[in-house]
Amino acid sequence: MQMIKSKEEWNKSVVIPQRYVACVFAFFAVVSSYTMRGCLNIAITQIVKRRSGSVVESECTVTSAPVENKDSTYEWEPEQIATVLTSFYYGYVPSHVPGGFLSDVYGAKKVLGCCIIVSAISSALTPIAITTGSWRFLCVLRAMMGLVQGPLFPAAATLLAKWIPKSERGRAGTWVYTGAQVGSIFGNSVSGFIMGYLNSWKLTFYFWAAVSVVWIITAEFWLFSEPSQHPHITDDEKQMLMREIGATERLSVPWKAMLTDSASIACISGWCGHAIQFYYLTTNLPMYLKDVLNFNVIENGIFNSIPYIILWIFASVTAVFSDMAINRNWISLINSRRIFTFFGNVAPAAALVGAGLVGCNRELAIIMIILSTALQAPVYCSVRVNVLDLTKNYAGILTAFVNGIGALVYYPVPYLIATVAKDNKIQSWVLLFEIMCSMTVFFTIIFVIWVSGEKASWDEIE
């Protein structure tokens, strides 16, 4: 009988390990989704007219040259803008659990494919919706995009659970999940370039829809939901993955045990602490930079991208360090999850408050915003991969609850902005940032107390 090769021996016997191929496709699925999802946050600064002479005038002095846009613009009220920016989450939150279930039962490839295809269609139809059906039609399209992107991270978690050995999950999970940051980098910078130099916000949506087609075509041929489905995988590789990961079983879902487990609640709570500030930075920061600090669209795109470049680099470094520290027994897995999550949640929240306290000092504000984003890096090798510590059989479903409830917590933020910070006064924004910071600290403390790094009892086969 042929001996099963160790992971190190098998890595040397092939050019490209197939688990890395799966990670690459999961990574670019997240990147593609976030470019299509996030480009509206930059585009809306050009779609909506700024009403001069009204109560929404900024306290800060205008120092940037405005960028003219040849496409039509619209006068939307702050409440309408809040509804547009929130409408994505109307579809996003409720589709998490069904998407996680479908990923665990039918495979991640089908779910990810549906996510990218429908998102591309929604993106391509967005300019038509705005010009022919107004902001309400746009809300429908955004909700549809949210509906298919809700299963994105549950499907990615399912893929990782079936392809990635435990000793590499910190690095692999971080790399895949920070596709959100890479998507934000390109979504912000390229969209800002298109609108600033080509003077068209419509082209932004068409461009990202077209780019996503590349993923759809290549994934059809080279992405597989699990090793057993791969037609070209070697026996050595399959045996290595079976030894490192083990077989996953399709079981009845232990809903009650899963959702009442303190470890699951901790995981959800820790992610909620991160999600509040993350969704604010990705969704509402462009409007803050335009309406409060008076950046034009080109500057807006650049300064919305720089923090994510630094975050991506920092996240990659912290992920390698986290896995190394755990594998060399410098720190226990559970304490690694605690420390990295606490720092990755609380430090950015404090920096966000600092961004408001520096007022109209644009240079200091940008530095604090960069810190608020970059210091989130440890979250991706801690609470973000904690699901994989708890379960391999229900990774998609638990991730659905974690990510879905995290997005649900963010729901009131755009409406808080439309009410608390409607006047665009610096002090109003500081109050808003302090509220978000307090919520982050509360959720993070729950995580630190209840977190577990062991396989959950409800994940066992009875």
Query: Which of 48-57, 162-171, 262-271, 275-284 is modeled with the greatest confidence?
Result: 262-271
Q: Which residues, including other chains, have CB under 8 Å from residue 54's CB and lie 6 or more apart?
A: none
Confidence of residue 300 (pLDDT cuts 50, 70, 90): confident
Which residue from 27, 39, 37 is spatially nearest to 91, judged by alpha carbons? 37
Q: Which residues, including other chains, have CB under 8 Å from residue 218's CB and lie 6 or more apart?
A: 25
**Model pLDDT for residues 353-384, shown as the tens digit of each residue:** 998 898 888 889 889 989 998 899 899 888 88
Token pair, residue 143, equals 């909700």
Which has more confidence, 133 or 228? 228
- pLDDT given at position 319: 85
390 CB-contact burial (10 Å; exposed 0-12 / middle 13-18 / buried 19+): buried
Is residue 145 predicted with pLDDT exceeding 90?
Answer: yes
CB 303 within 8 A of CB 369: yes
- Cα–Cα distance between 328 and 33 in angstroms, integer? 36
Token pair, residue 13, equals 């016997």
Vertex 317: Cα angle to 434 and 8 (nearest 5): 140
224 CB-contact burial (10 Å; exposed 0-12 / middle 13-18 / buried 19+): buried
- Average model confidence (pLDDT) across the chain: 83
- pLDDT given at position 70: 54
Token pair, residue 8, equals 């190190």
- Cα–Cα distance between 281 and 443 in angstroms, integer? 18
- pLDDT given at position 249: 58
Q: Which CATH class is domain 17-53+72-247+254-459?
A: mainly alpha
Torsion sign (Cα): 175, 178, 182, 185: negative
Is residue 12 predicted with pLDDT exceeding 50?
Answer: no
Is residue 53 predicted with pLDDT exceeding 50?
Answer: no
Is residue 55 predicted with pLDDT exceeding 50?
Answer: no
Is residue 338 predicted with pLDDT exceeding 70?
Answer: yes
Token pair, residue 104, equals 């665990």
**Model pLDDT for residues 192-204, shown as the tens digit of each residue:** 888 888 888 899 9
Structure-derived torsion over alpha carbons of residues 366, 304, 347, 331, reported in degrees to the nearest 10 = -130
**Model pLDDT for residues 89-103, shown as the tens digit of each residue:** 889 888 988 888 888
**Percent of the chain whose predicted confidence (pLDDT) is above 90:** 26
Strand ranges in 165-271 using DSSP code E only, listed in sequence order:
none
- Cα–Cα distance between 368 and 347 in angstroms, integer? 11
- Cα–Cα distance between 306 and 188 in angstroms, integer? 9
Query: Which of 45-49, 216-220, 429-433 is modeled with the greatest confidence?
Result: 216-220
The alpha carbon of residue 213 and the mean position of all alpha carbons in its chain are separated, in whole angstroms, by 21
Average pLDDT over residues 438-448: 94
